[in-house]
Amino acid sequence: MKNDRSRISVEFLGKRAATPLVLPAGIMGMTWSGMKYTWENGCGIITSKSLTMEPRKGHAGPVIAEFEGGMLNCMGLCNPGIEEGLAEVNEFRKFYEVPVIVSIFATTIDDFLTLTQKVNESRGDFVELNLSCPNVSDEYGLPLAASKIKVAEIVSAVKMVSKIPVIAKLSPNVSGLTEICTAAEAAGADALCLINTLGPGMLIDIDLQRSVLSNRTGGMSGPCVKPVALRAVFEAYSRVKIPIIGTGGVSNGRDAVEMLMAGASLVGVGSALYEGGIGIFEQINQDILTYMDQYGYGTITDIPRLEKM
Ligand code: SIN
């Protein structure tokens, strides 16, 4: 019983995840070998890098900067484009029965629809709409997730064409996040992913007398964002019925259990990989099992959720 891994397996939108852990978009989900490596090391669901209509180089370096509370990134949606990105997903899914979320990014409904149609033809299991990247506002203006009207328009349009479940990835950098969550749900989203990076923030190198990141600012992740992520997940959980992937600042098993208690069905682990390495997934799985043993919970769904607001 103690180490029976089926105890932490999770049913998510009709697919079975071997563990509750999700690799969020942007981290190791660019190639089939990265996906394989992540899964082999205890991740239950893998998200691809956010894919765009055309390949994107992203911002020039430095694009990652660490600080005491976490890290900033200004990747700028570097990706090989939808065709090549889906080829990697297909290669992985051809051999492995592991659910993959295909993350897509666009700035118009038409492009979201074209991307979704391409995802329909792939082996991807879910499509995630990245409505919340904070690093491309110089090109595209405010993230779409800042407007509940735009979120609803895009989600409902995508739902009309998507053959697979649709996940809306939303931003914490907005006012009225719960209204945006309910708008996504009302428009037909099958699940939410909360949160994308916080901020953006900025770091300055006082010796070089310039910003550390090339793009000056970047989305903040790591332990410092966990309280914001928990609050966002809990507020959304209190208001929506669809499942939530809770991601933001999870670095150990206790953090993961907090995220589950806040109402998440699955838990994203991203920035912690930089500090903890690939072994972090298995460590968190084991920590969750230990916690379940400590409190006598047979399966992961026995871990209680907080009472809704
Ligand atoms: C990026 O590529 O800039 C990060 C992706 C995101 O925050 O959505």
Q: Is the dihedral of CA 194, 198, 200, 204 positive or negative?
A: negative
What share of the chain in percent tops pLDDT 70?
Answer: 99
**pTM of this prediction?**
0.97
pLDDT score of 3 more than 90? no
Write down the pLDDT at residue 138.
87
CA nearest to 71, candidates 197, 280, 222, 252: 222
Q: Is the dihedral of CA 115, 120, 122, 128 positive or negative?
A: positive
What does the pLDDT average to over 67-92?
97
The CA distances from residue 210 to 73, 215, 217, 221, in Å, are 16, 11, 12, 21
What share of the chain in percent tops pLDDT 90?
Answer: 95
Could you read off the pLDDT of 16-46 as tens digits, one per residue?
A: 999 999 999 999 889 999 999 999 999 999 9
Identify the bridge partners of residue 17 per DSSP, sorted by sequence position.
10
pLDDT score of 87 more than 90? yes
Nearest CA to ligand 1 atom 6: 133
pLDDT score of 1 more than 70? no
Task: Give the separation between CA 106 and CA 36, rounded to whole angstroms.
Answer: 27
Which amino acid does the sequence have at 226?
K
Could you read off the pLDDT of 145-181 as tens digits, one per residue?
A: 999 999 999 999 999 999 999 999 999 999 999 999 9
Task: Compute, in angstroms, the gap from residue 250 CA to the centroid of ligand 1.
Answer: 18
209-236 as b/e, with b when 16 or more CB fall inside 10 Å?
eebbbbbebbbbbbbbbbebbbbbbbbb
* Token pair 């891994």 in the structure block, residue: 5
Task: Compute, in angstroms, the gap from residue 73 CA to the centroid of ligand 1.
Answer: 8
CB atoms within 10 A of CB 34: 18
**Mean pLDDT taken over the chain:** 97
Could you read off the pLDDT of 281-307 as tens digits, one per residue?
A: 999 999 999 999 999 999 999 999 999
Q: Which of 51, 57, 71, 77 to mutate to test the pocket of ligand 1 (most atoms within 8 A of CB)?
A: 77
Write down the pLDDT at residue 2.
60
Q: Which domains does the chain have, with CATH numbers?
A: 5-56+80-203+221-302 (3.20.20.70)
